[in-house]
Amino acid sequence: MTNLSVYEKAVQLQNRARQIAAGAVGEKEAARVLSRSKELRAGLAELRTQVELSHTLAALGAAHKPDLSGIDTARTAFERKALNGLPSDAVFNTARKKVQELAGKLKGDSSAAWVTWATAQVAALPLARIPVLSRDEREAARNRERELRQAVATKNLSKADTTLFTSTYALLAESLHDKSDPPSELLKLLEVLEKRPSPTLRDITDGDIALLRQFEMDIHITLQRTGA
């Protein structure tokens, strides 16, 4: 990638500076270039991270491929000014600032694209089916839903975040795909049964029991005697 060319150029400058340290230019000049090169490399490492994230989002269909023309322009300008000797501090600072600007823009674009895409993915899940799952499955599904919503709102998106989101999404979607959408009456009844303290058998009608059996939810309901 073009940004790697700038990165390699900074490495070359560091090697050259080490050689100069033993020569006529002196250790002070070598130390300056080493310091500036280290700063530039740190910025380039962040830029590379953001470029890779942009490509990851593009592969998911969450964003378009990033425009990297600005990287080519910055690289060309830096190389031109480095042809006739070691670049000045001003040249290094200009290059570092440009790299930071490009990384910041990519990060902002990726964040906006991620929120839009990930929000739509969660909205497309048949989450209304969660209440009809067994107790353990229901708890796992709700944890996964919570993890997905937290991932949507993450402040510093990374490739690891996208991988975790897609794997968690796949697990939740798989647990829901063969379930039927429950009627509103069943959802309301399940909410009542999950309240604490639990309702008594007197609170449950024959119609409620028939509804539970109709959707095979009766196997997930237990009865416990209290009192004498």
What's the pLDDT tens digit per position in 95-148? Answer: 899 889 999 999 999 999 999 999 999 999 998 888 888 888 989 999 999 999
Q: Which residue has the tokens 């560091």?
A: 14
From the list 155, 223, 221, 151, the residue with the least C-alpha distance to 190 is 221
What's the pLDDT tens digit per position in 146-169? Answer: 999 999 999 999 999 999 999 999
How far apart are alpha carbons 101 and 159 in whole angstroms?
20
Phi, psi of 105 (to 5 degrees): -65, -45
From the list 178, 227, 177, 183, the residue with the least C-alpha distance to 201 is 227
> Which pair of tokens denotes residue 125?
């899940």
- pTM score, whole prediction: 0.71
What are the DSSP calls for 138-200, one per residue?
A: HHHHHHHHHHHHHHHT-SS--HHHHHHHHHHHHHHHHHHTTSPPPPHHHHHHHHHHTSSSPPP
